[in-house]
């Protein structure tokens, strides 16, 4: 059965396309993921939040562990927040985990523990935006709903050789409207997820046009613009930071910086650190001697690119440092760390004495 749709965007040509092209391609080439095995609203919601700015292959073990710990919305709502953050450790953007738990509590209190099946109510839930709401409606409830992420934006802008700035909300809105028009009446969720899969595996930043089922319809391909689109004017400017990390060891204890509410690394422990230029000042202040260099660690968060230079010092008595606390080495394993400082911790043997 043909599913012919009228395909056009403002300023582009209009023509018919059989959306079965995408549907058939997706059924044949879709990757197998645990969240696709049980398309419950809760599974879809958690997986889509985890997949934001994270590769699917990285998400798989996190998703599986998460569902073991928090198998239902109610289990997540009732969990210890520290346990939730620990389960998220390593995925970054920890506000996503906090929003998931806040959203779970909201669903229990306002929606009897069930994710709503309409866009308006889904958008009321903490952390659920247009894309996630569309994904839940499409994949879990199998509605005709647009879920427009970066993958879909790449496919659509190339398909129509759309040169408008995708950093502008009006451009994204225009694409979302066209995706809704693009979706067929029969099994629209297969086409919707097919567009996402196509952007994730074929129509990537460096497109593999030879593998694309839409190549014969792609205006960017015909015009030689496939590597130039999509166009985005706003570039993220990253700030580089270089820090000395003090790994202070007293017997079998380590000194850690306590997390503070409202900071970027809220809920996450770190070793005390200073900007590289202040290293000598703090060595003198703490009267440190005989430090040993650990391996340099590079990590990123939000708009920062950070180079950590960890140094380990063995001291005879525990220093009292404002904002820090001493922890036994075995206790440290139970705490949630920022990714960079977790990699510093991994260089320190568990059985330190």
Cα-to-chain-centroid distance, residue 293: 32
Quote the DSSP letter at residue 338.
-
Question: Are 93 and 53 spatial neighbours (Cβ–Cβ below 8 Å)?
Answer: yes
- The residue annotated as part of the active site, out of 48, 164, 193, 197, is 48
Coil, helix or strand for 308?
Answer: strand
Question: Which residues are within 8 A (CB) of 245 and not within 5 positions of it... i.e. 6 or more apart?
Answer: 271, 272, 273, 308, 309, 310, 311, 341, 344
Rounded alpha-carbon distances, angstroms, from residue 123 to 93, 129, 137: 20, 6, 11
List beta partners, residue 310. Answer: 245
Residue 109 annotated among the catalytic residues of the structure = no
- Which is nearest to 62 in space by CA: 15, 96, 110, 30? 96
The C-alpha atoms of residue 195 and residue 127 are separated, in whole angstroms, by 24
Cα-to-chain-centroid distance, residue 141: 23
Residues with a catalytic annotation lie at 48
């Amino acid at each position: 059965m043909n599913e012919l749709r009228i395909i056009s965007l403002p300023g582009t040509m209009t023509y018919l396309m059989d959306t079965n092209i995408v549907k058939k391609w997706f059924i044949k080439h879709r990757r197998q993921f645990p969240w696709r095995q049980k398309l419950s609203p809760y599974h879809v919601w958690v997986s889509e939040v985890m997949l934001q700015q994270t590769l699917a292959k990285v998400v798989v073990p996190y998703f599986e562990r998460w569902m073991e710990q928090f198998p239902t919305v109610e289990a997540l709502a009732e969990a210890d927040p520290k346990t939730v953050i620990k389960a998220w450790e390593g995925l970054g953007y920890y506000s996503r985990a906090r929003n998931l738990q806040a959203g779970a509590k909201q669903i229990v209190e306002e929606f009897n523990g069930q994710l709503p099946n309409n866009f308006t109510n889904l958008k009321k839930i903490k952390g659920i935006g247009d894309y996630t709401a569309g994904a839940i409606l499409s994949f879990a409830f199998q509605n005709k709903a647009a879920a427009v992420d970066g993958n879909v934006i790449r496919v659509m802008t190339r398909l129509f050789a759309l040169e408008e700035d995708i950093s502008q909300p009006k451009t994204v809105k225009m694409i979302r409207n066209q995706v809704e028009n693009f979706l067929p009446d029969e099994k629209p969720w297969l086409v919707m997820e097919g567009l996402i899969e196509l952007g994730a595996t074929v129509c990537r930043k460096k497109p593999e046009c030879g593998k694309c089922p839409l190549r014969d319809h792609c205006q960017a391909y015909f015009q030689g613009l496939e590597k130039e689109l999509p166009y985005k004017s706003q570039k993220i400017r990253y700030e580089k930071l270089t820090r000395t990390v003090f790994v202070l060891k007293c017997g079998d204890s380590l000194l850690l910086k306590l997390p503070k509410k409202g900071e970027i690394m809220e809920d996450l422990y770190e070793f005390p650190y200073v900007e590289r230029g202040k290293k000598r000042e703090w060595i003198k202040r703490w009267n440190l001697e005989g430090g040993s260099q650990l391996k340099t660690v590079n990590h990123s968060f939000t708009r920062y690119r950070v180079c950590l230079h960890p140094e380990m010092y063995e001291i005879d008595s525990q220093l009292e440092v404002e904002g820090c606390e001493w922890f036994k080495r075995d206790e440290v394993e139970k705490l949630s760390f920022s990714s960079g400082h977790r990699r510093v911790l991994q260089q320190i043997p568990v059985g330190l004495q």
